[in-house]
Amino acid sequence: MGQIKTSLNVTSKAMTPQVKILLKDELVVLEEDSYELSEIGRLVVGNMLPLLNTLEVIEDNREYWASRDLSILPENLFLRLGELGECMLIEPDLNHMFDLPREFTENLKKAGKILTLVSYYHPLYPSLYSELAESGVEMSIVVTEPVLDRMKNECKEDFETIINAENTQLEVCSEKPGLPTLAITDRFMYLCLFDKQGKYDHSKIMSFDASALKWGRELFMHYRKETRKVSDA
């Protein structure tokens, strides 16, 4: 009882009626001199935490999530959105609309391992990933056919550096993913989603939570199922 009073900052008088309700509903049990969760109580709490985590993720950036097309997410990952944890919303101003976010590039260059999916061509991506390939970072890059074609035709030197790097694997997906960009490293998860009208508005989220990294890796592997390796120019 003392621990509960301290944690919740309540008096015994205020807490006693609530404890009686929990006892009546068999959510807690009295073991000697302490109250503990019953088996049913542990089941309820175990399912409550994911809900609370999801609500927290949404509330932190409500307008962003309300405007995103989440239908592209696999059902099991959609229901685990709360695992993204504390998310940083990146919304560039007009003067930096077409720049890669500093938060993204600086942390990417500190990574030891990178998984990334790119479904739209950004002129800075080829040189960025070419530089990382030369630095020895272990990378797996998945692109769409249009992105691959532009890399071959417009950035041939960077493209050859990427496919010739022993530490880098470049793959092309047979179908167009429903999201612009996804990147997961050993440091962070970076996600871009289209809005409900299917438009890309340059808004991204970034999370450093371990659970977000795991969630992101699972999403990456989902898209990687239908890919083929690019071995030459």
| pLDDT tens digit sequence for 76-112 | 999 999 999 999 999 877 766 677 889 999 999 999 9
pTM over the 0.85 mark = no
Dist. CA 95–CA 99, nearest whole Å = 9
Residues of the chain with CATH 3.30.870.10: 69-229
Question: Which residue did the predictor score with more confidence, 52 or 40?
Answer: 52
Residue 7 has pLDDT above 70, yes or no: no
pLDDT (mean) for 202-210: 95
pLDDT at residue 16 is higher than 90: no
Query: Residue holding tokens 């999916």?
Result: 117
Rg of the chain taking only CA atoms, in angstroms:
23
Label residues 163-192 b or e (16+ Cβ within 10 Å = b): bebeebbbbbbeeebebbbbbbbeebbbbb
Instruction: Select the more confidently predicted residue: 191 or 23.
Output: 191
Beta strand 138-143 with 113-118 is: parallel
* HSE-up (13 A, CA, CB side) for residue 16: 3
Listed in sequence order, the DSSP H helices in the chain are 2-8, 12-24, 39-60, 62-67, 75-78, 102-108, 125-135, 145-154, 156-164, 210-224
Fold of domain 69-229: Endonuclease; Chain A (3.30.870)
Q: Which two tokens stand for residue 71?
A: 């239908």
Instruction: Determine contact, residues 184/213, Cβ cutoff 8 Å.
Output: yes
